[in-house]
Amino acid sequence: MDFLTSITAAEAFRIIASFPLKSLETVEVSLEEASARVLAGEIIAPEDIPPFSRSLVDGYAVKAKDTYGARESMPALLVPAGEVPVGEVTEIKVADGEAVYVATGAMVPSGADGVVMQEQARQSAEDLEVTASIRRGENICFKGEDIGKGEVVLRKGSHLSPFDIGVLAALGITRVPVFRQPLIGLVSSGNEVVPADIVPPAGKIRDINTHTVSNLLKARGCSVLFAGIAKDSLDDLTGKLSSMRECDMILLSGGSSKGQADFVTAAVKELGGEVLFHGINIRPGKPTIFATLWGKPVFGLPGHPVSCSMVVLRFVLPLTGRMEGETGPIRSCAIRGILGTNVPSSYGVEEYVRAKVERQEGSLVVMPIFAKSSVISTLSKADGFFVIPEGAEGLEAGVEVEVHPLA
């Protein structure tokens, strides 16, 4: 395949999405290990949450009908009938015209169907004066109102969020079936690249891509095996590839541009693999390679840090999600806002524009960050990126765009 016989972004997505993947094994992990993992089975609630009706405020458990019409100038008069501390079981039954004091989180006694806030009641010599009417269910979380016993609370293929972990904890589920984390092999390449912990000699640069890419992958529930920095030689690169043979996917940054010796495609072919495409009509990230080797997907990522990161976000992470067994979209915090200035682009190229989102006069305004694909600091400063479709010749100020998060 000739270099940069570029395909469209849509065609690249199609080829990547159709790549045959082997199912990962199922493992069981603790709650502490479950965040960002993908569920391997349904979670069915073994009990009601809450397990009893709870008060949401400090106040008085009452029959709501006994407060109808109550107001400051004409309070409803109720008879105090005890109290329920937090964490204790009560056998009290609230009768017509009675009120029982309950603390926040305490069990609501039977017979009561609402709780009057403490601020809306005052104690007189013998009676409780209620100065506001409440509706049935006010300030109560009823038994099973949050989660009902037997309810499917989380489905197979769900990417577990910190809030999902909270649901599992509420149900007392402390061991969770998840798919094994995919192991992603990662290597940087280039004679000019040195580790981040040394002072680079003249003509050299520190390895940025290993750290940005590995953390993007880990945030999505992947394990990463870093094989080191490969020199621009076929032998070194084939050696690094061979050391990652047991990985589920392999990523190589650098070595994909025609301006460099194209060792990535050569190394893949040397080891018996096949290049599926080389070049996508996108900016940044045009020289991206996608290949198959030992039945595993292989990406040749651009060496420029921004290009590399954007290709991981747009093309690599959706494949790792499918590899993990994810069946739904990753929860996104995409923001819609109004473009603050004109943004030019080239027809026929899908462009990814870094941007800041600012609030101006009550509206969200998206301000593009114009910078070269080697300027990593722009990703640190950006709130996200928006996409200019390949069929557009730029976007005009005032149009609405969707800003996708960078992590």
Same domain assignment for residues 232 and 317: yes
Higher pLDDT, residue 150 or 4: 150
- Edge-to-edge order in the sheet of strand 98-102: 114-117, 59-62, 98-102, 76-84, 128-130, 121-123
Answer yes or no: is 157 within a domain: yes
Task: Flag whether 44 is in a domain.
Answer: yes
CATH code, domain carrying 227? 3.40.980.10
Which residue range forms the structural domain that includes residue 167? 28-49+150-179
Note whether residue 170 is domain-resident.
yes
Do 212 and 267 share a domain, yes or no? Answer: yes
Residues 88 and 226 in one domain: no
Cα distance between residue 159 and residue 282, in whole Å: 28
> Which CATH number covers residue 116?
2.170.190.11
**Shared-domain flag, residues 133 and 71:** yes
What's the CA gap between 128 and 117, in Å, rounded? 12
Is residue 240 located within the same domain as residue 154? no
Per-residue confidence at 2, pLDDT binned at 50, 70, 90?
very low
Give CA–CA dist 299/318, Å, rounded. Answer: 13
| Residue 209 lies inside a defined structural domain of this protein | yes
Domain count, the chain: 4
In this structure, is the dihedral angle defined by the CA atoms of residues 157, 162, 167 and 171, taken in order, positive or negative? positive
pLDDT digits (tens, 9 = 90+) for 161-200: 999 999 999 999 999 999 999 999 999 998 999 999 999 9
Same domain, 163 and 276: no
330, part of any domain: no
Q: Provide CB contacts within 8 A for 192, sequence distance 6+.
A: 203, 204, 205
* Domain containing residue 388: CATH number: 2.40.340.10
Whether 279 and 295 share a structural domain: yes
255 and 297 together in one domain: yes
| pLDDT for 371 beyond 70 | yes
Average predicted confidence (pLDDT) for the chain: 93
Query: Has residue 1 been placed in a domain?
Result: no
**4 lies in a domain?**
no
pLDDT tens digits along 292-331: 999 999 999 999 999 999 999 999 999 999 999 888 655 5
The answer to the question of residue 282 being in a domain is: yes
Nearest Cα to Cα of residue 137 among 79, 75, 54, 77? 54
Q: How confident is the model at residue 375 (pLDDT cuts 50, 70, 90)?
A: confident
Identify whether residues 156 and 207 lie together within a single domain. Answer: no
**Separation of alpha carbons 407 and 401, rounded Å:** 18
Confidence at residue 331, expressed as pLDDT on a 0 to 100 scale: 56
Q: What 3 state SS string does the chain have?
A: CCCCCCECHHHHHHHHHCCCCCCCCEEEEEHHHHCCCEECCCEECCCCECCCCEECCCEEEECHHHHCCCECCECEEEEEEEEECCCCCCCCECCCCEEEEECCCCECCECCCEEEEHHHEEECCCCEEECCCCCCCCCEECCCCCECCCCEEECCCCECCHHHHHHHHHCCCCEEEEECCCEEEEEEECCCEECCCCCCCCCCEECCHHHHHHHHHHHCCCEEEEEEEECCCHHHHHHHHHHCCCCCEEEEECCCCCCCCCHHHHHHHHCCCEEEEECECEECCCCCEEEEECCEEEEEECCCHHHHHHHHHHHHHHHHHHHCCCCCCCCCCCEEEEECCCECCCCCCEEEEEEEEEEECCEEEEEECCCCCCCCHHHHHCCEEEEECCCCCCECCCCEEEEECCC
